[in-house]
Amino acid sequence: MYWPHLNNKLTANLESSIVYTEIMSVIKGGLTASEVAHNGIISREDYVALCDSITSIFDAKKREINCSIFLQYEKIKMEKGNFDLTNLVNDLHQRLEFEGYNGDFMDYVYIDEVQDLTIRQIMLFKYVCRNVHEGYAFSRDIAQAIAKGIGFRFEDIRWLFFRKFLLGSEKGKLSKVFQLSENFHTHTGVLNLAQSVVNLLCHFFPLFVDALSPETS
């Protein structure tokens, strides 16, 4: 919808899905953005500086290009009167931060398929559940991510939980990660095929995949 209307000098030789993921999960939806900007959008300077991160797949030059693409995307979106999910999420953060939450609180929050949420989306739960000691459970399938624009590891969630949920709390603590390695609905042949793909991902992209024990049937 937007990609064909962007400057082709910027988008040349770039994969639209990768740039979109970078916008949704880092520039507008990442943990870094939440720490350096009240509107949830990381500045160009701070975003480019992330090129020094060990998990970065973009150098400084490509990050500059991503920023320019992002600004064009936002401009076209505003001209059309459109908004994306991160606009809604960041607006909720601003309202909850400055106006507070006046609804009912939850004692426990269980989030399944957490791989389909951005870091900023997960952060919204801190406003409705204050039980940081034992009130949160996150689960995900490391080999399944169907939501467009989402990209992070389970360790990113643990880091998020420490920085945004536990820091300053006297009771809360990080719990251990429990792996469910026994699969009850898929036979061994399919599991072995899937594991061969996961092994390739772990080999070529070790910093972007949660390396866990193979599943058994």
* Bridge partner list, 72: none
Asked whether the predicted pLDDT for residue 59 surpasses 80, the reply is yes
- Stated pTM of the model: 0.74
Copy the structure tokens of residue 24.
């949704």
pLDDT digit string, tens, across residues 167-197: 656 565 666 767 777 777 788 888 888 888 8
Asked whether the predicted pLDDT for residue 76 surpasses 60, the reply is yes
Phi-psi region of 195 (alpha: psi -120 to 50; beta: other; left: phi over 0): alpha
78 falls within a domain: yes
Candidates 195, 115, 126; CA nearest to 155 is 115
* % of the chain surpassing 90 pLDDT: 29
- The mean per-residue pLDDT over the stretch 12-35 comes to 83
In the chain, % helix, strand, coil (3-state, to 5) comes to 50, 5, 45
171 falls within a domain: no
Phi-psi region of 4 (alpha: psi -120 to 50; beta: other; left: phi over 0): alpha
106 falls within a domain: no
Residues whose CB is less than 8 angstroms from the CB of residue 205 and which lie 6 or more positions away in sequence, other chains included: none
| Structural domain count, the chain | 2
Cβ distance 109 to 128 under 8 Å? yes
29 falls within a domain: yes
| pLDDT confidence of residue 74 | 94
Asked whether the predicted pLDDT for residue 23 surpasses 80, the reply is yes
| pLDDT confidence of residue 68 | 95
Asked which of 86, 113, 141 is the last residue of a domain, the reply is 86
* Owning domain of residue 42: 3-86
Most confident of 18-22, 166-170, 203-207: 18-22
Asked which of 86, 117, 149 is the last residue of a domain, the reply is 86
Asked which of 45, 63, 86 is the last residue of a domain, the reply is 86
Sign for the CA dihedral angle at 196, 202, 203, 205 comes to positive
pLDDT digit string, tens, across residues 139-156: 877 655 544 556 666 677
210 falls within a domain: yes
166 falls within a domain: no
103 falls within a domain: no
- The mean per-residue pLDDT over the stretch 6-21 comes to 91
- The mean per-residue pLDDT over the stretch 157-170 comes to 70
- The mean per-residue pLDDT over the stretch 48-61 comes to 78
pLDDT digit string, tens, across residues 114-131: 878 888 888 899 899 988
Asked whether the predicted pLDDT for residue 210 surpasses 90, the reply is no
| pLDDT confidence of residue 51 | 80
| pLDDT confidence of residue 150 | 62
Asked whether the predicted pLDDT for residue 165 surpasses 90, the reply is no
Q: What is the DSSP letter of 175?
A: P
167 falls within a domain: no
pLDDT-derived band at 132, boundaries 50, 70, 90: confident
